[in-house]
A and B are shown apart, each in its own frame.
Chain A
Amino acid sequence: MVRYFAGCDIGSTTGKAVIIGENGIAGQSIVPREIDPEETARVALSEAMKTIDELKSYKDIAYLVGTGYGRSEIPFAHENISEISCHAMGAYYCDTSIKTIVDIGGQDVKGIALGDDGSVKEFVMNDKCAAGTGRFFEAMSRIFRMELQEFSELSLKAKRAIPVTAQCSVFAESEVISLLARKNPPEDIAAGVQGAVAKRCFVLLKRVGITPKVTITGGCAKNRGLVKELEKVLRVEIAPLSVDPQIIGALGAAVYARKRSSVAV
């Protein structure tokens, strides 16, 4: 029987699960966060298992690693590993030449420098403030009365970005409302918002070093407008990954699960 290894990334906004078998990723899922992290993990794993007939229960998984802010709340995980290590390993699994990651999740931003084997050489995290995180984009797109995807596409249409100076989510919100009220082109304001977050990432990444290849992981990696602004401020190309960037943490956890399992055996 094929042995399966799983990673479960319980983030602040979503739960992600990745199951790997003999031929790489066999199942994956992204589900909205439940109040109880354990429940989020169950739902995410159940979803990811749907494409694997051999797996009837998460108990059939040979080794499970939990990660993300709710990592220690998954009682059926064999161990938990920080999301910093998991994002590094997940990106390395996709592309062994990745040296720098910017991970923008629901409530934090991280800069990670990778060693030659996918280990973490150095990392920085933002503070407890939500500026520049997924929460920040949620608030911004709400002001524009748009879905995140729409907001991202809007920013790509900008002719001249209007700088948004405030880095605090609350102040940025009132600044953007004022700019909209003054009838500035929404696409230019949206591009300004992307630029403000990109600059924040620049500051973080400068502390770990911006060594190519650079990639972006986390839910906000799907924001094309942000990726474009990041490439501009970092002056490097952001390398796309072969899998959904939102599941990189869970993927890294699954890769660790396979490694740890062989050690445990």
Chain B
Amino acid sequence: MIGATMDLQKLLDEPLNQLVEDAIEKGMLPVGYACSMVPEVLLSIGKLFPVRLRAPNVAGTEMADVYLSSVICSLSRSLLEFALEGKYSFLKGFVFTASCDHLRRLNDNLRYCEKPEFIDILDIPHKITDEAVQWTIDELRRFAQQLKSHFGVDAGNENVMEAIRRRNILNTLLRRINDLRKSQNPPFSGTQYHRLIMATQVVPPDDAINLASEFLESVTRNAEHPRFRARVMLVGGNLDDPSYTEIIESQGALVVADRYCTGSFPALEPYALEGDPYEILARRVLTITRCPRMMEGFPVRLEYIMNLYREYAVDGIIIESIKFCDTWGVETSALVSRLRERGIPVLRLEREYHQSGEGQLRTRVQAFLESMGK
């Protein structure tokens, strides 16, 4: 059964996985998105379903490098490479946010090279004020109108609220699974969890709910309780490759909490269910992603990490960021200082989007655990 825990990796090996293929056969329309600020709920209405853009096992970015300079992060370059290789040809459209210059350049070049039938980029303010919320509401309504014109999707208030309710079912399950990570001996590894959380982002919403509930049932019934030397939290931006977590855990760390864009943190808080659904989405986009691109939000982001640190009884924090990601590069410097001032062991790792330098990563993590006396 594809939903069984052991098969989650299969869903992540290629952008076009079995469940996406099945959905397409049933007439559903997959739309690719990059960035957690994209309101995926709006892509879960009618026949649409969201698929997080990934480039699993990308070998190099030779073609994308022609269009994107070497100071553009390897995530953007890898996604463009996959697009140029035709690996996203099953997608019916693309949605981005102007969250950083790197993704904007990806959006520009995707338009230029692939000329997709549907592509949109949402403009999101950098501050959270009443005006910014109103701006975002207007922007989301504009986007909904685009969806209606191109796909014939009715993103009226009622349908949006229904999609929110459905998303809350998934979030509730993910929250229950996350709560199990707080126990002294968590019943599953961070790698297993990473596979699940990624899988829920690359399959239709109903399948995501099934995967999460099967995972919950499976870990409740057959708890593995992996052995570990230290409990760690993984912090950073886009991290969509569970093998990265696997390497970290191979050294005896157990990833019990996370705060990275493709991880679980947005799922820990349910969507509000009262009021204008577009305002609910706008407020969520501006606040819940806790993206370092947002100005004046550092204290809140730091406090969020501190709360997870206490709640999940974390021994040390690993902060990873992709090279040339200026958003996370700046954030990391400040985070490392503030966390260390509080006496928290921190390991800072820079990486490329694709997995490389495995031996060095192992050494760094092992030395980090040893430096904590673990």
Contacts and interface: CB of A to CB of B under 8 A. Distances in A.
Contacts of B371: 85, 119-123
B363 A84 contact: yes
Interface in B309-365: 350, 356-357, 359-360, 363-364
B86 interface: no
B373 A123 contact: no
A130 interface: no
A260 to B, nearest CB: 12
Contacts of A173: none
A69 B367 contact: no
B370 interface: yes
A143 to B, nearest CB: 27
B27 to A, nearest CB: 46
Contacts of A229: none
B360 A108 contact: yes
A69 B357 contact: no
Given A119-B371, A123-B371, A82 B366 contact: yes
A123 B363 CA distance: 11
A128 B367 contact: no
Interface string A132-165: 0000000000000000000000000000000000
Contacts of A127: 350, 357, 360
B344 to A, nearest CB: 13
Interface in B225-258: none
B357 A128 contact: yes
Contacts of A120: 367, 370-371
A170 to B, nearest CB: 16
A108 B360 CA distance: 9
B356 A128 contact: yes
A120 B367 CA distance: 8
A11 to B, nearest CB: 12
Contacts of A85: 367, 370-371
Contacts of A123: 364, 367, 371
A81 interface: yes
B354 to A, nearest CB: 12
A108 B357 CA distance: 12
B363 A83 contact: yes
A119 B374 CA distance: 12
B360 A82 contact: no
Contacts of B370: 81-82, 84-85, 119-120
A125 interface: yes
Contacts of A69: 359, 363
A127 B357 CA distance: 8
Contacts of A119: 370-371, 373
Given A85-B371, A119-B371, A119-B373, A125 B366 contact: no
Interface in A78-93: 81-85
Contacts of A81: 366, 370
Nearest to B346: A122
Output the residue of B357, B360, B364, B371 with the most chain A CB within 10 A.
B371
Contacts of B350: 127
Contacts of B359: 69
A82 B373 contact: no
Interface string A96-131: 000000000000100000000001111101011000
A81 B229 CA distance: 13
A36 to B, nearest CB: 16
Contacts of B357: 127-128
Given A119-B371, A120-B370, A121-B371, A82 B356 contact: no
A121 B370 CA distance: 10
27 contacts: A69-B363, A81-B366, A81-B370, A82-B366, A82-B370, A84-B363, A84-B367, A85-B367, A85-B370, A85-B371, A108-B360, A119-B371, A119-B373, A120-B367, A120-B370, A120-B371, A121-B371, A122-B371, A123-B367, A123-B371, A125-B363, A125-B364, A127-B350, A127-B357, A128-B356, A128-B357, A128-B360
Interface of B: 350, 356-357, 359-360, 363-364, 366-367, 370-371, 373
9 cross-chain pairs, A with B, having the tightest CB-CB distances, nearest first: A84-B367, A82-B367, A82-B366, A120-B371, A128-B357, A85-B370, A82-B363, A69-B359, A85-B367
Given A82-B363, A120-B371, A121-B371, 18 more contacts: A69-B359, A69-B363, A81-B366, A82-B367, A82-B370, A84-B363, A85-B367, A85-B371, A108-B360, A119-B373, A122-B371, A123-B367, A123-B371, A125-B363, A125-B364, A127-B357, A127-B360, A128-B360
